[in-house]
């Protein structure tokens, strides 16, 4: 399966190639649509695969970037969400312990849309000596929100040691608010996010290890592209599935498929030229049904070492 992440990885490889950074020592060729299959007799194995087993394998930098960005994104989400929930809980606790009441005035009423609902926001001002007024915003349910108007008087509870810290205090609600349910919801959201991030990480690592095994121990063979089928990949848009065949070392014809390739008009750079102009497949010698169309997104082989002048003289 050729995922959207792999497509992004190949785009990054193309950019590195355009910048003159070595990615694979594969000769550049212009890709041409198959017309009844390629001539297998013209196939040449990529030089970097012509090495003793197990072949050396290096992890592509794009794989490291994807994994690190996923982990960093999760911890950033935890920091933002945890900070918000923690600040709300701390404010509620402080006002319960030492909050005092004051009279405020509504200065603005507005709503904000968020995923899963609407927030009804009330901005209010309350005078606390020596400052003429402090301004804060709190949220109400839709019934209480619809009963308010700009200029209405509202009860406020604030922290005397930090006057900007305040809440609306209808029916002494600021002294009775319970944030335990909000903490439970936040814990559930964080747990689900951790599971999702772990699953994505596991998927990437599984794909990398699979590609690494093929590069280390796989046998290279000429592949023949038999068809390209465009299909709808949902959010990923239109994609192409490439079907191919190859002959394993026992002489058996084996079929394979690579999904998730971009459509022709979206193919940029020489990565797909390498894949389709001189099609190569790596397969498990013990089970040729396990195979992948080369090159891969997350791992590759370093170029084959060239013999030095001194070894040639020896």
Q: Which domain holds residue 48?
A: 4-53+218-313
Calpha distance 151→158 (Å, rounded):
20
167 in any annotated domain: yes
Question: Do 222 and 211 belong together in one domain?
Answer: no
pLDDT category of residue 260 using cuts at 50, 70 and 90: confident
- DSSP H helical segments within 162-254, as ranges? 180-217
In order of 135, 171, 290, 308, 310, the CA distances from 106 in angstroms are 10, 17, 68, 82, 86
The set of residues, in sequence order, having a beta carbon less than 8 Å from that of 97 and lying 6+ positions away, is none
pTM > 0.75: no
pLDDT digits (tens, 9 = 90+) for 92-125: 889 999 999 999 999 999 999 988 889 999 999 9
What pLDDT digit, counting tens, does each position of 1-52 carry?
455 556 565 565 555 555 554 443 333 333 334 434 455 667 888 889 999 9
Q: Please indicate, yes or no, whether residues 130 and 106 belong to a single structural domain of this protein.
A: yes
Residue scoring higher pLDDT (132 or 10): 132
- CA distance to 1, 83, 135, 197, 271, per residue, from 73 (Å): 25, 15, 33, 9, 28
Q: Note whether 173 and 260 are same-domain residues.
A: no
How far apart, in whole angstroms, are the C-alpha atoms of residue 87 and residue 298?
41
- DSSP H helices in 99-139: none
Q: Do 142 and 35 belong to one domain? A: no
| 229 falls within a domain | yes
Residues 107, 194: one domain?
A: yes
The candidate with the shortest Cα–Cα distance to 214, out of 281, 313, 121, is 281
CB 4 within 8 A of CB 236: yes
**pLDDT band per the 50, 70, 90 thresholds, residue 183:** confident
Give a yes or no: residue 232 inside a domain. Answer: yes
Q: Is there a domain that residue 79 lies in?
A: no
| pLDDT attached to residue 232 | 92
Contact assessment for residue 103 and residue 156, using Cβ atoms and an 8 Å cutoff: yes
What's the mean per-residue pLDDT of the chain?
A: 84
CATH of the domain at 207: 2.40.50
If asked whether residues 201 and 269 sit together in one domain, one would say no
**In a shared domain, residues 100 and 202:** yes
Based on the fold, state whether residues 244 and 204 are members of the same structural domain. Answer: no
Within a domain: 257:
yes
pLDDT (mean) for 139-149: 93
Judge if 44 and 102 occupy the same domain.
no
312 has pLDDT over 80: no
50-61 pLDDT, tens digit each: 999 999 999 999
Q: What is the number of structural domains in the chain?
A: 2
Among residues 285, 288, 282, 286, the alpha carbon closest in space to that of 300 is found at 282
φ/ψ of residue 189, rounded to 5: -60, -45
**164 within domain boundaries:** yes
Q: Is the CB of residue 169 less than 8 Å from the CB of residue 175?
A: yes
Query: Where does the pLDDT of residue 185 fall: very low under 50, low under 70, confident under 90, or very high at 90 and above?
Result: confident
Q: Do 182 and 291 have their domain in common?
A: no
Averaged pLDDT, 178-192: 84
In a domain, 64, yes or no: no
Detail the DSSP E strand segments found in the chain: 58-59, 100-114, 117-128, 131-140, 153-159, 162-168, 219-232, 238-247, 253-262, 280-284, 287-294, 299-300
Q: Which of 216, 245, 270 is the last residue of a domain?
A: 216
| Band of residue 267 on the pLDDT scale cut at 50, 70, 90 | confident
The answer to whether residue 185 sits within a structural domain is: yes
User: Which of 176, 200, 216 delimits the end of a domain?
Assistant: 216
* Sheet bearing 100-114, strands edge to edge: 131-140, 117-128, 100-114, 153-159, 162-168
pLDDT at 40 (0 to 100): 66
Report pLDDT digits (tens) over 272-298: 777 888 899 999 999 999 999 998 889
Same structural domain, 246 and 183? no
* Spatial distance between the Cα atoms of 14 and 37, rounded to a whole number of angstroms: 26
Q: Is the pLDDT of residue 147 over 90?
A: yes
Tokens of 19: 């910048």
Last residue of a domain, one of 189, 216, 243: 216
User: What proportion of the chain, given as a percentage, has pLDDT over 90?
Assistant: 56
CB-CB contact of 277 with 295 (8 Å): no
**Do 180 and 234 reside in the same domain of the chain?**
no
């Amino acid at each position: 399966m050729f995922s959207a992440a792999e497509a992004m990885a190949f785009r990054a490889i193309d950019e590195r190639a355009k910048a003159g950074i070595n990615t694979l020592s594969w000769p550049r060729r212009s890709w041409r649509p198959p017309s009844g299959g390629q001539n297998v007799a013209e196939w040449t194995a990529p030089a970097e695969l012509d090495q003793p087993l197990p072949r050396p394998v290096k992890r592509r930098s794009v794989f490291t970037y994807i994994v690190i960005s996923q982990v960093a994104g999760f911890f950033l989400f935890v920091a933002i969400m945890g900070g918000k929930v923690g600040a709300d809980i701390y404010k509620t606790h402080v006002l319960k312990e030492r909050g005092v009441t004051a009279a405020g005035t509504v200065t603005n009423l507005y709503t904000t849309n968020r995923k899963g609902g609407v927030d009804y926001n009330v901005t209010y001002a309350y005078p606390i000596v020596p400052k003429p007024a402090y301004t804060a915003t709190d949220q109400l349910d839709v019934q209480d929100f619809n009963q308010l108007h700009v200029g209405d008087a509202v009860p406020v509870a604030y922290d005397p040691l930090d006057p900007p810290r305040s809440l609306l205090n209808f029916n002494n609600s600021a002294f009775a608010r319970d944030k335990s349910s909000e903490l439970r919801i936040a814990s559930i959201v964080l747990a689900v996010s951790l599971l999702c991030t772990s699953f994505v990480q596991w998927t990437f690592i599984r794909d990398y290890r699979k590609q690494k095994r093929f590069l280390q121990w796989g046998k290279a063979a000429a592949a023949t592209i038999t068809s390209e089928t465009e299909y709808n990949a949902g959010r990923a848009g239109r994609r192409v599935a490439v079907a191919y065949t190859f002959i394993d070392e026992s002489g058996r014809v084996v079929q394979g498929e690579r999904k998730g390739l971009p459509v022709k008009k979206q193919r940029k750079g020489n990565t797909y030229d390498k894949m389709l102009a001189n099609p190569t497949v790596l397969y498990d010698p013990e089970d040729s049904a396990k195979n992948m169309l080369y090159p891969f997104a997350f791992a590759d082989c370093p170029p084959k070492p060239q013999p030095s002048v001194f070894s040639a003289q020896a």
